[in-house]
Chain A
Amino acid sequence: MRDIGLLSVVIWLPILGGIVTLAIGDLRAQLARCVALLTSLLTLAACVPLYLRFANGTASFQFIERLEWIPALHAQYYLGVDGISLPLILLTAFMTVPVIIAGWSVVEKRPAQYFAAFLIMEGLMIGVFAAMDSLLFYFFWEAMLIPMFVIIGIWGGPRRVYATLKFFLYTFLGSVLMLVALIWLYLKAGNYSIEAMQQLPLTLAEQRWLFLALLVAFAVKVPMFPVHTWLPDAHVEAPTGGSVILAAIMLKMGGYGLLRFSLPMTPDASRELDWLIVSLSLIAIVYIAFVALVQQDMKKLIAYSSIAHMGFVTMGAFLVFFIVAATGSTKGAVNGLDGAVVQMISHGLISGALFLCIGVLYDRMHTREISAYGGVINVMPKFAAFMVLFALANSGLPGTSGFVGEFLVILASFKASFWFALLAATILVLGAAYNLWLVKRVIFGPVANDKVAALQDLNAREFLVLGVLALSVLALGMWPAPMLNMMEASVQHLLQQAVTSKIPLALP
């Protein structure tokens, strides 16, 4: 069997499945659910050969598909994966399944449309990670806003319209500036291929503008301080599945963009403006962690903790330049990039799992106020075990995947500067504080009220979903080697790109 077409399958299969689900309609909801689940499982199954046949140890792109798409604009249907994008694709396919199972019986309002929206979004998100042509990338990147807009707007909470409009307009504003930057690069490079753009020599002034234009798009998506305000609103109002996808995958697109576009395309501007990213990241880590501490709403707390954890991703990526400046070699710098990628995957699993846990509580109690809970462990022991595990993983407990990414980034920041490391390490304290305090108030203690006393423990469906996630969090935490091996070559290559100047030599 040839490799050709595998990426197309994982992009278009869920989209087609989504359209079929949509066509089945809300009246035959059970059939729609089954088709949706089947599609997501098939997509996950299609990812298995992708993983097995991926060759570690090379930075070149694999599973390449290259077809003419828009010759008039020199844009191609060009797909490929490397060690940075493959984990994210696997994560996307992996996380969509629990989302669909979690919504199985809970979503009663227009179920077919609900599942269809998630499937279509899955395909579009995989498209973002697989696109090797920047116009194709932008195409998927923007198209994804439509299903998310609808998901928050239809199945969201009381302030859903406000939240979804804010989400859409924020990200749209960021993206259009990226579009200008991409077209500008196209006019210079002659085509939209990402590789061509990465190799294009650019003066520092050009790079600076491009870097800022791209940064707006990625920073909104990550989200970085101070353009993070849409995220708590979107999370709080979104349905459980929407929050999971938002936290687990959509935020990663911002981080991915920084690694795939900003660092390799504008390395000199990245070096020049690294202080900007690192300081914004540190603000996100320290300040937002404090903000998370005082939240009354569980989802908002996890949303703020996501911002803080994504700060590790952006910081890990841009510590490279500080480390090179401090130590004079690129040897230590790879930890930061490794940490950034691992943190993305790990946070995808953990935050997704935490939102699912909150969803479990919300489905029973219809409130997310922390004060409405207490002593859940007495009535839901199985659930409590999972919730505590994920909360601890979220605070970076060794043995869970949360530890690996944070450890690598903190390790890298020590090489850059003691003060960075000190500030970054506060997350270990603050993260533990807000996570454990959350657990203390919600899970432990005496049963708070009659409603909590009447809670039912996890059913088999919920147990399965959380169990699989718990296993993967632990597996990645105890044995991260397969993933690190997969990324190794691509991260090294990225590091080379990031530290190699693209400024053309001055003409004599």
Chain B
Amino acid sequence: MIAGLTTVSWPAVPEVWLAFSACLILMLDVYGGDKRRGLTATATMLALLIGVLLTSSFGMVLQHSVLFNGLYVADGLGTFLKLAGFVAMATAIFYSQDYLEQRGMLGGEYYVLCLTGLLGVFVLISANSLLTVYLGIELLSLSLYALVAFDRDSGIAAEAAIKYFVLGAIASGALLYGMSMLYGMTGTLDLDTLGTIVRHGPDGGMIIGIAFVVAAIAFKFGAVPFHMWVPDVYQGAPTSVALYIATVSNLGSFALIARLLSYGLAGLPEVWTQMLMAVAVLSLLLGNVVAIAQTNLKRLLGYSAIANAGFVLLGFSTGASVGYQAALNFTIAYVLTTLASFGMIIMLSRSGFEHDEIADFKGLSTRDPLLAALMLVLMFSTAGVPPFIGFWAKLWIIQALLTTGHVWLAVFAVVISVVGAFYYLRVVWYMYFEGAGDRPVAERRPRMRLILLLNTLTVAALGLLPNALLDICQRLFP
């Protein structure tokens, strides 16, 4: 079966198709975008659909195979993440269409930037060399900077974009600096070769190099102390872009840490696991505690992203495959839930009313019982209460910590997630226990309602029967 697949597979087909379709859509928009509104969006959806089909029929690489002179790697993990990326991107675009249209942000560049960003994520996923990693991260970041500032008339969006850009540039510098030190110490950019060389043990320069690399990873995740950009960008960016950063870009962050640390530097876990542990603990603490004081839901989700990054990093900080599996599972669960949470904000918003204050959710259960019920599911899932997917995500991280003997970290993680539960509960409280006042009834938008429903049902279904996802995660990090 596997052998049969590999004979017809072209490992790089997802990237090639994405690059090609991004150019194509750019041209399409230049020549036809003004005449037919929605053409670019439809074309993008089509491109993503074809991408899924191409990847699943020709790009299903399951064994570790290295191409392009060692710059590129294709394996099961990569294929899975790319498929997840396509699906997340398509869902995100689906949620964003109305939003963009209502705010006059119809420029086709939006979709092209989304696609190039996704291409950046894919390059990160397939990186087998420090150079490819850097290429991917820059492609993703530059697309994101432009996307954050996409609403040209918005002051806070511009502020968020500048902050993101300046801090991002520093982080890129740190990454490059760390990589150059690693190169200087080992004489190779290739992650496989690097992996074998570092097994001989660390030396001072290498530790400093790794510290810089970890800092850049932490920045990409928005983990403390490199989290400053997260709340501002989540709040300031258009909701559809915040959605993109929280989901598609998050897959990229996962790929970044998976390729660099759990593959490239796997031989030196004692150096980076402790760094990650410190970063993770601080993120959990700050993210959960500061989120309590938030009044803006997008900003709250930003702090929640910091806290959730803490969980993913905790998984990696075990330095064991059980932890990587847990982190992958957590990332997928988080992406699924966050897609719908941001989708909900977009669903409820309308031109001139962003619906992103938590108080805007007051009395939603009387205004729109279905949407309130879906939001309830999403909030309890993020809080880690069964029977939803978020519970298994946290459960597995805790199990990984206990397997590797970090009992106190596990206790800390569960206790801090009780603190975290409070602010998700507050959303439920506002929706169900408060009166609606004169807040408007949500628009119908039947298609978007359906996708939101399906998205949330997935969150619930994978909560009742989580085995499929857990099983995939276990196989991808043997």
Which residues in A have some Cβ–Cβ distance to B below 8 Å? 22, 25, 69-73, 110, 113, 138-139, 142-143, 145-146, 149-150, 153-154, 160-161, 164-165, 168-169, 172-173, 176-177, 179-180, 183-184, 186-187
Chain A residues, CB < 8 A from B387: 139, 143
Chain A residues, CB < 8 A from B467: 69-72
Question: When A142-B385, A154-B432 are in contact, do A187 and B403 touch as well, CB less than 8 Å?
Answer: yes
Residue pair B470, A72 in contact (C-beta under 8 Å): yes
Question: When A72-B470, A142-B385, A168-B421 are in contact, do A180 and B410 touch as well, CB less than 8 Å?
Answer: yes
Chain B residues, CB < 8 A from A172: 385, 418, 421
Selecting from B129-137, B351-359, B422-430, the interface stretch reads B422-430
Select one of A22, A72, A150, A164 contacting B471, CB under 8 A: A72
Residue pair A153, B433 in contact (C-beta under 8 Å): yes
The size class of the interface chain B forms with chain A is: 35 or more
Chain A residues, CB < 8 A from B470: 70, 72-73
Selecting from B67-75, B243-251, B391-399, the interface stretch reads B391-399
Residue pair A150, B386 in contact (C-beta under 8 Å): no
Chain A residues, CB < 8 A from B466: 70, 72
A162 to B53, CA, bound (A): 51
Residue B417 CB within 8 A of the other chain: yes
**Given contacts A72-B467, A139-B386, A177-B411, could you give 12 more A-B pairs where the C-beta distance is less than 8 Å?**
A69-B465, A113-B369, A142-B386, A153-B433, A165-B429, A168-B425, A169-B422, A172-B418, A183-B399, A183-B402, A184-B407, A187-B402
**Closest Cβ neighbor of A154 among chain B residues:** B432
Residue B380 CB within 8 A of the other chain: yes
Select one of A160, A165, A177 contacting B425, CB under 8 A: A165
Residue pair A143, B407 in contact (C-beta under 8 Å): no
Select one of B369, B385, B411 contacting A145, CB under 8 A: B385
Chain A residues, CB < 8 A from B433: 153-154, 160-161, 164
**Closest Cβ neighbor of B468 among chain A residues:** A72
User: What's the minimum C-beta distance from A124 to chain B, rounded to whole angstroms?
Assistant: 9
Chain B residues, CB < 8 A from A110: 365
Chain B binding surface, main DSSP class: helix
A71 to B472, CA, bound (A): 12
A342 to B425, CA, bound (A): 36
Chain A residues, CB < 8 A from B421: 168-169, 172
Select one of B369, B395, B414, B471 contacting A177, CB under 8 A: B414
- Give residues of chain B (13-48) contacting chain A, Cβ–Cβ below 8 Å: none
- Most chain A CB within 10 A, of B386, B391, B467, is at B386
User: What's the minimum C-beta distance from B363 to chain A, rounded to whole angstroms?
Assistant: 11
Instruction: Pull 11 A–B residue pairs with CB atoms less than 8 Å apart, ordered by A.
Output: A73-B395, A113-B369, A142-B386, A149-B425, A150-B376, A153-B429, A164-B429, A165-B429, A168-B425, A169-B425, A176-B418
Chain B residues, CB < 8 A from A113: 369
A150 to B418, CA, bound (A): 18
Chain B residues, CB < 8 A from A168: 421, 425
A172 to B403, CA, bound (A): 23
Select one of B391, B418, B471 contacting A173, CB under 8 A: B418
A186 to B411, CA, bound (A): 16
A160 to B407, CA, bound (A): 36
**Closest Cβ neighbor of B396 among chain A residues:** A73
Residue pair A149, B428 in contact (C-beta under 8 Å): yes
- Give residues of chain B (360-410) contacting chain A, Cβ–Cβ below 8 Å: 365, 369, 373, 376, 380, 385-387, 391, 395-396, 398-399, 402-403, 407, 410
Question: When A165-B429, A179-B395 are in contact, do A71 and B471 touch as well, CB less than 8 Å?
Answer: yes
Question: When A73-B470, A161-B429, A172-B421 are in contact, do A180 and B411 touch as well, CB less than 8 Å?
Answer: yes
User: What's the minimum C-beta distance from B440 to chain A, rounded to whole angstroms?
Assistant: 20
Residue B442 CB within 8 A of the other chain: no
Chain A residues, CB < 8 A from B471: 71-72
